[in-house]
């Protein structure tokens, strides 16, 4: 279903400057180029022949996770006929790009005496100079250098081929979560790195941006996103905040303007995500796009999108570097999408806003100890690509029963508006914690058109006073674990988070203690707990009724004041009893926005719910993870949707032209490349999100040669 349809010329796309994409045949950089364009100059697959797109090869070696908890989020690299990616186990793999045959596999944990949770991996970085080359990729807290020819560690990099990203964060960070989920970006002989850190009431590591020498692994420069005394922005925090507050990290990836030597770094919120009583102030450089000198790390300019964030409004994706025409003048621009569904556009040299941005009054907080910021910035153009207010008229109408149950809950919650603060009654987060825009990012073409997929999923944030816990184990669980596993320990199927009720029947005391300390899979380790604290949590989890033998530390229930006295009931999608979102469709959209004018070219739904189609309900779209790729052939390719399809759309009109059912959800951004004279498009199929099954696949497509001039559709797949 296409609501807006305005064809636009692709001539500018078809005559691409050599600087817009890194290579015409390879996909040698994460998201297609250092500009984070998610664009390919290849044009052999077009609107006219995409119906001949068929399966070229499938790689699937290794067992799928029977619990459905594993994922692959990797946007692979393709260099010189070899595809490099990570599998569901986070092993680095090299495949023949024409056949999918495994060439080598590298276990990043080989030789390491650690059992820490591995997290996820979204991509790789590649560096080459003369005869030297290496792949740099992150797993857990390590940045590792691997020889692309042999699949072996380059021992001269860091220590035995690795850098421990916890080093130089301070002694207090050793037991805290640090993970390198998203690849750094290479500039000359440097790799600039961000990382993922904790976000809950528990202690969190800080998130400085650091650049390392790609040959030696030595630290070259560091930018403190939580300023220290004497650094600009220090005055926007309490005096001692830099010693204890964490976060403000780049977990999404970055973009580099190679010509100007500028690296663009989008940061997340400071921890704790939903209460900032210990960080009263504006909180620079959290929630900022920071333009740094790529050689030195010196700040050139910054813009803050959320002041004193208490909604988990991290910047969700790398920015896009693109040239736009405003007032008849070509301007080097940088565009940043947000979780709230906005696009902010700036002059990338000066930081000047290219469309007006207004500071808007927002509500104040009534949580003890909190002081919400009085205003928040919102762009006048482009209009948001997601709805902004969940009002009563938007309550789902997929059935009378769904409407009634959502309405009954709706009237108990705080009335919704943008930036309503967290509350004990329950605050609607809409669009949800995962967007609007999400980590899959947006694509841009040389004509200045931005393509972005969006979620429109309401979530409910409910705050809990952790000081009212009846035991020390319950208090520690609420502050550190309830955000994922829930205050009732039920977990979340939609989030692939297991429940903890009845855990005493599945795990021994030692196993539970080790899981808390070390983590597993996407769960980080909580190594900062003292033995007695971890023991109190284990007692609480293993008790049938949720009680334990430990009193609260003060000895009097409900009277202990903590530095962070609030926790929350978890990341809860608001679904009806049948699993459908509480809001009227669309639940997932795909959007094309002309950044020259700020106007929409088209908007369409992304994804279907088959049982609703059978009931005669129009396509609703679905929640989606992973981004689009646009090509000079006039096509947009995207997986992402919960229905597990891979699709091709017309970039000019938004019409769906082709789709294929994948063996597992394609919750990753695809890659486009040429090998042996053929154009391919490949996507990782790891599933494991939104309650869908896991997989361990890479699936590639190419054009089938026409037989006798006939062109039959190849839509179909694993169904």
For 512-524, write each residue's pLDDT tens digit.
Answer: 887 777 777 667 6
State residue 715's pLDDT score.
58
**Cα 27-32-34 angle, rounded to 5 deg:** 120
Query: Are 417 and 556 in a shared domain?
Result: no
Please check whether residue 245 is in contact with residue 278, taking contact to mean a CB–CB distance below 8 angstroms.
yes
CA atoms within 13 A on the CB side of 711: 9
Quote the tokens at residue 234: 């220090």
Please check whether residue 657 is in contact with residue 646, taking contact to mean a CB–CB distance below 8 angstroms.
no
Query: Are 505 and 596 in a shared domain?
Result: no
Please check whether residue 434 is in contact with residue 378, taking contact to mean a CB–CB distance below 8 angstroms.
no
Mean pLDDT value of segment 326-339: 97
SS3 232: coil
Evaluated on CA atoms 580, 583, 584, 587, the torsion sign reads negative
Query: Are 551 and 562 in a shared domain?
Result: yes
Quote the tokens at residue 110: 């080989």
pLDDT score of 302 more than 90: yes
For 73-120, write each residue's pLDDT tens digit.
Answer: 999 999 999 999 999 999 999 999 999 999 999 999 887 766 566 789
Query: Are 510 and 455 in a shared domain?
Result: no
**Total domains in the fold of the chain:** 2
Return the minimum-mean-pLDDT range out of 51-65, 243-257, 675-689: 51-65
Mean pLDDT value of segment 301-314: 98
Helix 509-518 crosses helix 531-542 at what angle (to 10 degrees)?
A: 120
Query: Are 618 and 658 in a shared domain?
Result: yes
Which of 154-163, 171-180, 514-523 tops mean pLDDT? Answer: 154-163
Task: State the maximum Cα–Cα separation within the chain, in Å, rounded to a whole number.
Answer: 84
State residue 297's pLDDT score.
98
Range of 689's domain? 2-462+575-717
SS3 504: helix
Query: Are 364 and 405 in a shared domain?
Result: yes
For 185-213, write each residue's pLDDT tens digit.
Answer: 999 999 999 999 999 988 999 999 999 99
How many residues are given for the chain?
Answer: 719
Neighbours of 393 (CB within 10 A): 8
Give the whole-angstrom CA distance, residue 217 versus residue 245.
27
Looking up residue 107, the CATH number of its domain turns out to be: 2.140.10.10
Query: Are 457 and 476 in a shared domain?
Result: no
SS3 610: helix
Residue at which a domain ends, from 522, 548, 569? 569
Give the whole-angstrom CA distance, residue 149 versus residue 132.
11
State residue 19's pLDDT score.
57
State residue 509's pLDDT score.
80
Query: Are 96 and 154 in a shared domain?
Result: yes
Residue at which a domain ends, from 549, 569, 589? 569
For 113-129, write each residue's pLDDT tens digit.
Answer: 665 667 899 999 999 99
State residue 705's pLDDT score.
84
For 349-390, write each residue's pLDDT tens digit.
Answer: 999 999 999 999 999 999 999 999 999 999 999 999 999 999
Residue at which a domain ends, from 501, 535, 569? 569
Q: What is the pTM of this model?
A: 0.89
pLDDT score of 555 more than 70: no
The kind and range of the H/E element at 455 are: strand 449-455
Query: Are 148 and 194 in a shared domain?
Result: yes
State residue 4's pLDDT score.
44
Cα–Cα nearest to 233, from 194, 271, 272, 286 = 286
Query: Are 75 and 107 in a shared domain?
Result: yes
State residue 20's pLDDT score.
67
Q: Which residues pair with 673 in a beta bridge?
A: 680
Query: Are 428 and 398 in a shared domain?
Result: yes
Query: Are 521 and 630 in a shared domain?
Result: no
Measured between alpha carbons, how far is residue 711 from residues 53, 54, 529, 638, 715 in Å? Answer: 10, 11, 63, 22, 12
707 — pLDDT class (breaks 50, 70, 90):
low
């Amino acid at each position: 279903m296409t609501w807006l349809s305005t064809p636009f010329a692709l001539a500018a796309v078809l005559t691409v400057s050599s600087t817009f994409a890194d290579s015409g045949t390879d996909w040698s950089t994460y998201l297609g180029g250092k500009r984070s364009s998610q664009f390919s100059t290849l044009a052999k697959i077009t609107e006219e022949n995409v119906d001949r797109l068929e399966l070229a090869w499938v790689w699937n070696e290794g067992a799928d996770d029977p619990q459905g908890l594993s994922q692959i989020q990797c946007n692979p690299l393709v260099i010189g006929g070899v595809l490099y990616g990570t599998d569901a186990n986070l092993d680095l793999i090299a495949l023949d790009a024409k056949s999918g045959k495994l060439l080598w596999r590298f276990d990043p944990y080989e030789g390491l005496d650690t059992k820490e949770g591995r997290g996820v991996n979204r991509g790789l970085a590649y560096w080459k100079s003369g005869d030297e080359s290496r792949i740099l990729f992150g797993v857990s807290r390590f940045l590792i250098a691997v020889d692309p020819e042999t699949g072996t560690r380059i021992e001269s990099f860091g220590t035995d081929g690795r850098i421990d990203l916890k080093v130089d964060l301070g002694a207090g960070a050793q037991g805290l979560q640090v993970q390198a989920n998203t690849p750094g970006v290479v500039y000359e002989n440097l790799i600039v790195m961000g990382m993922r850190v904790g976000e809950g009431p528990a202690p969190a590591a800080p998130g400085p941006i650091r650049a390392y020498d790609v040959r030696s692994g030595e630290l070259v420069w560091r930018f403190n996103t939580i300023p220290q005394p004497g650094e600009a922005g220090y005055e926007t925090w309490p005096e001692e905040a830099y010693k204890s507050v964490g976060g403000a990290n780049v977990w999404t990836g970055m973009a580099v303007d190679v010509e100007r030597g500028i690296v663009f770094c989008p940061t997340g919120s400071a921890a704790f995500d939903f209460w900032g009583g210990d960080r009263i102030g504006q909180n620079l450089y959290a929630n900022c796009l920071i333009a740094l000198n790529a050689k030195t790390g010196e700040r050139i300019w910054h813009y803050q999108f959320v002041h004193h964030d208490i909604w988990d409004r991290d910047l969700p994706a790398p920015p896009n570097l693109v040239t736009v025409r405003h007032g008849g003048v070509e301007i080097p621009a940088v565009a940043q999408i947000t979780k709230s569904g906005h696009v902010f556009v700036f002059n990338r040299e000066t930081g000047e806003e290219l469309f007006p941005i207004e500071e808007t009054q927002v509500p104040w907080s009534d949580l003890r100890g909190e002081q919400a910021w009085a205003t928040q910035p919102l762009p006048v153009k482009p209009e948001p690509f997601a709805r902004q207010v969940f009002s009563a008229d938007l309550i789902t109408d997929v059935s009378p029963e769904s409407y009634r149950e959502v309405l009954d809950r709706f009237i108990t919650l705080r009335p919704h508006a943008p930036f309503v603060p967290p509350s004990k009654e329950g605050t609607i987060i809409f669009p949800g914690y995962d967007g609007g825009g999400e980590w899959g990012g947006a694509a841009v073409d040389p004509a200045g058109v931005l393509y972005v997929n969006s979620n429109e999923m309401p979530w409910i944030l409910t705050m809990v006073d952790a000081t009212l816990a009846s035991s020390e184990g319950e208090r520690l669980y609420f502050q550190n674990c309830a955000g994922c596993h829930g205050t009732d320990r039920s977990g979340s199927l939609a989030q692939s988070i297991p429940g903890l009720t009845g855990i005493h029947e599945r795990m021994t005391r030692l196993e539970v203690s080790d899981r808390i300390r070390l983590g597993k899979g996407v769960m980080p380790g909580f190594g900062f707990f003292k033995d007695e604290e971890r023991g109190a949590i284990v007692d609480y989890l293993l008790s049938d009724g949720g009680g334990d033998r430990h009193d609260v530390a003060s000895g009097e229930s409900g009277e202990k004041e903590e530095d962070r006295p609030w926790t929350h009931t978890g990341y809860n999608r608001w679904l009806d009893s049948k699993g459908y979102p509480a809001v009227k469709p669309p639940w997932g959209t795909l959007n094309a926005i002309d950044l020259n004018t700020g106007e929409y070219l088209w908007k369409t739904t992304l994804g279907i719910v088959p049982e609703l189609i059978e009931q005669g309900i129009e396509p609703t779209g679905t929640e989606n993870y992973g981004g689009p790729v646009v090509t000079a052939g006039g096509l947009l390719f995207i997986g992402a949707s919960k229905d597990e399809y891979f699709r091709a759309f017309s970039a000019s009109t938004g019409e769906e032209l082709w789709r294929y059912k994948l063996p597992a959800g394609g919750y990753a951004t695809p890659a486009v490349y040429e090998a042996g004279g053929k154009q391919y498009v490949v996507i990782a199929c790891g599933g494991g999100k939104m309650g869908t099954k896991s997989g361990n696949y890479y699936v590639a497509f190419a054009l089938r040669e026409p037989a006798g001039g006939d062109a039959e559709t190849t839509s179909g797949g694993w169904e």
